Amino acid sequence: MNLEEAEKESLSAGTLYQEVTNILKRYSSSLGSLSLKIGISQPTLWRWANQVNSQKPDPNKLLLLLSYDSNRKSIPEIAKFYSGHISIFLRTSFPTQFLNSQNINNEIEIIDDQYDFYIYYICGTEKGASKSELIYTLGQVAAKKAEIPKSQLTLDLVTSLGSFTASKIERLVAADIIILNEYNRYVRNNKNTYINVKEGLDRGLQLLKDFIKPESWDGQKSLFYIYQESVDPSIAKEVTKDLKQAYIHAKEKLLSNKSSSHEAIPYIISVTGESLCFENTEVIQ
């Protein structure tokens, strides 16, 4: 068992909630107002404040409270601000983000829809994208959603379908989320950010659905595997660890080989592992 696993095992929900309760005492008369500001339901905040839950809190939700209360965005800075069991909980819940000193991504609140998200992700690469490339790419997505046969697609039609992209680019530039660099390409202003799991699932899965092109798979740049089996929880933990290591390895290869050359393409990886069941502790007995 490594240090991270040992810390996680030693951290109890009770000791963690004691520290969270001390934070929420400062907002005891205004939980409703706090709920609206940070996007966590008032009943959830009440349960945290009164230490009702037997399970540890959702780390993504807790991060919203801690960021607001500490007025800090960097996950390591937030952990350092609180120290104690909260620090251990953040370090063990966000090991990769902690290592990379990632910031909590509040920019996601400015993103209106899925197309904004696509611009955000494409511009998050080293190469970024030109205005015409973004218009063409989102035009292709719009054509796919409209189920227009490829045999009917022309450059003029795709460009027309993607014409709405120009106003989205302008809005994201005005919000300082993307900028136009010296090569006349749009890139994200802050690339080292962490998007919480819910936002990542809601928008990220749709991104994969819209961009995956099974009809053109050659087994070289695209893949999709899915498999299920019933196993002991200890094996599920081992497989999760394996997937995490595979993700880290692939991410490091992308980072060490990032390029803005003419041949470079925006490429995305996604790793998922989850149980196909729900714990009995998730419902009121």
| Per-residue pLDDT tens over the stretch 118-141 | 999 999 899 999 999 999 999 999
Interacting residues of 165 by C-beta distance below 8 A, sequence separation 6+: 115, 119, 131, 134, 135, 138, 139
Residue 104 pLDDT grade (very low, low, confident, very high; cuts 50, 70, 90): low
Q: Which residues, including other chains, have CB under 8 Å from residue 213's CB and lie 6 or more apart?
A: 222
- The arithmetic mean of pLDDT across residues 3-11, rounded, is 53
Q: Does the structure show a pLDDT above 60 at 106?
A: no
Higher pLDDT, 121 or 83: 121
- Most confident range, picked from 59-63, 75-79, 249-253: 249-253
Place 197 in a pLDDT band, splitting at 50, 70 and 90.
low
Please choose, from the candidates 1, 4, 28, the residue with its C-alpha nearest in 3D space to the C-alpha of residue 87.
Answer: 4
CB contact at 8 A, 63 and 90: yes
Name the residue with higher pLDDT: 14 or 158: 158
* Rounded distance between C-alpha atoms, residue 231 and residue 233, angstroms: 6
DSSP state of 74: B
- The pLDDT score that the predictor gives to residue 133 is 97
When pLDDT is cut at 50, 70 and 90, the band that residue 196 belongs to is low
Q: What is the overall mean pLDDT for the chain?
A: 85
Average pLDDT of the residues in 169-184: 92
Tell me the angle at which helices 131-145 and 197-211 cross, rounded to the nearest 10 degrees: 80
Instruction: Give the mean pLDDT of 36-43.
Output: 87
**Percent of the chain at pLDDT above 90?**
45
Give the DSSP letter string of 161-187: HTTTHHHHHHHHHHTTSEEE-TTS-EE
Mean pLDDT value across residues 239-257 = 91
Model confidence at 82: pLDDT above 80: yes
Q: Looking at the predicted structure, is the pLDDT value of residue 6 above 50?
A: no
Q: Is 190 exposed, middle or buried (0-12, 13-18, 19+ CB in 10 A)?
A: middle
